A and B are shown apart, each in its own frame.
Chain A
């Protein structure tokens, strides 16, 4: 187990290194830069720009910039935003709760609805329930998240006026109910795609499990349907489902980015999109690394949980 963890953590660090190199390179290869806004400004002279460039260290070769940035990252100096000059660490940290709120609630909702509908579709396969969930899942998977977001805003915010169109709360705070109303639409939009995946995945896992000998044994013991289906069926499905949870993290992170943008949700996703527009390199890289870390750690955690659930899996391989 210790060796396994050591290997996995080593692999994860390598992966993060790769992500940082590629991310850094792409960022600098992309046209424009943090100073592009000034070039159109007639009051800013070429000397001014050179001075700022030097100040930000942008006049140095990219690999030097990278090494400096990477050294700062591991020693806890994440740099300062090019715009406003605040420390990147605190800019990112203050956005984490909003993103966690959105992601966590969406994931929880998706888990409950997706797993329940998947089990139902498997048990009642080839019935209207099965076809209805299949159609809904296909819709959710084939239409982009922003489209659902805009549709939701159009219907529930603009036309019906039931829900706020964006933001995390009304200006001037707002109570719990106000926050819940703000959360509802983005949560549903982000959960939609996730539900579809959970539902389809649960269905196929359960279909396979339902034909297993041990399910017949469970029924032959006279156990009730809930006990058979959940205590024996879902228990066996936990292994593939936890694996899915790990694999789904990138989708969750990406979906949160889009959803936050559509709903002006003040989380890391919105911060990222804004920083991208301004080429705020230190902020962009910090968010990229946090996102990559979440995905990598999530997958490691999923593998460990799977090994805890399934005694046949031993964490000894590399």
Chain B
């Protein structure tokens, strides 16, 4: 199947810091890919790099999206992609909306930026979108300001703006992390039904495997700027290969010394983990041995299942 997005050896550096260190993955049309890993592992950086929204970062590699390399597009061409073909929603919907602009206008302005339509039609479509994302009393809400809405409502507005132009890919960066548990489930349901109905692909970024389990077709696990394992969701949950994934899942392998109940905190800062030459998980890994001083390649360990670990090859 032809891919919608094909990321090839993406490297993102902030000066000497390689926040994303050579990751490759692909997304097929309509697919939801979960990108999982703990805070600071480079998930947001990856998404923002694809949107070319990082300032002061150097990008290397390629990201082919619908026949173009996103990393090679000029700014004007990239602007036509943002919000129209690839949209993004963020972790904190309250601060992601402009505090002084009515939310309806914030949705209408995406439409007006990409489609040549008059203001009245943009407003009518914004109303339609508000209905679609399940905002109650949408006519009144169009004129509301973000501070008058709950966090979940704000995220619905963000989603309305994101899907306004019918993008083929949605980057959802921790879309439910800042929300109450019940609201989380509602927002995830909404994302699921929108993706299903519109055939939009989603990259769902989260540190919460529970979120991924209900929504993603496939999962890629990141650790310290690298993808350490990727598989379809069922396989990953049933049969995790990488020690880090197993740790995330709370699996207790009976090999060797067994797995600690809690993951020990990273020795040293994230920067030291990012600077490590070999396997970056080795300092936290109970299975680490001499070979881990070399970087393990991401290799197939099963059908559509890859992992980067010397121990499980």
Question: A residues touching B (Cβ–Cβ < 8 Å)?
Answer: 212-214, 216-224, 227, 231-232, 235-236, 238-239, 309-312
Interface size on B, residues (CB 8 A): 28
Of B10-18, B65-73, B98-106, the stretch lying at the interface with chain A is: B98-106
B100 pairs with A310, CB closer than 8 A: yes
Quick one: given A221-B110, A222-B79, A312-B147, are A216 and B161 in contact (CB under 8 Å)?
no
Interface residue from B53, B97, B148 paired with A220 (Cβ < 8 Å): B53
B232, CB-defined interface residue at 8 Å = no
B98 pairs with A222, CB closer than 8 A: no
B81 pairs with A214, CB closer than 8 A: no
CB distance from A127 to the nearest CB of B (A): 13
CB distance from A9 to the nearest CB of B (A): 27
Bound form: Cα–Cα A221–B83 in Å: 4
Question: B residues touching A (Cβ–Cβ < 8 Å)?
Answer: 51, 53, 79-84, 87-88, 90, 92, 95-101, 109-110, 113-114, 145, 147-148, 158, 161
Bound form: Cα–Cα A212–B97 in Å: 10
A220 pairs with B51, CB closer than 8 A: yes
Given A216-B90, A222-B114, A312-B145, list of 9 further CB < 8 A pairs? A213-B95, A214-B98, A217-B96, A221-B109, A222-B113, A223-B109, A232-B98, A238-B100, A309-B100
Bound form: Cα–Cα A54–B98 in Å: 66
A227 pairs with B113, CB closer than 8 A: yes
Specify the main secondary structure of chain A where it touches its partner: helix
B99 pairs with A312, CB closer than 8 A: yes
Bound form: Cα–Cα A219–B161 in Å: 13
Bound form: Cα–Cα A222–B110 in Å: 7
Bound form: Cα–Cα A249–B30 in Å: 59
Residues in A neighbouring B101, C-beta threshold 8 A: 232, 235
Residues in B neighbouring A232, C-beta threshold 8 A: 98, 101
A219 pairs with B97, CB closer than 8 A: no
Bound form: Cα–Cα A152–B59 in Å: 51
Closest to A235 in B: B100
Quick one: given A213-B92, A216-B90, are A223 and B100 in contact (CB under 8 Å)?
no
A311 pairs with B97, CB closer than 8 A: no
Bound form: Cα–Cα A224–B148 in Å: 28
B84 pairs with A222, CB closer than 8 A: yes
CB distance from B125 to the nearest CB of A (A): 15
For the complex of A and B, the 5 pairs showing the least CB-CB separation, nearest first, are A222-B83, A222-B82, A221-B83, A213-B95, A214-B98
B113 pairs with A221, CB closer than 8 A: yes
Closest to A223 in B: B113
CB distance from A86 to the nearest CB of B (A): 50
B96 pairs with A222, CB closer than 8 A: no
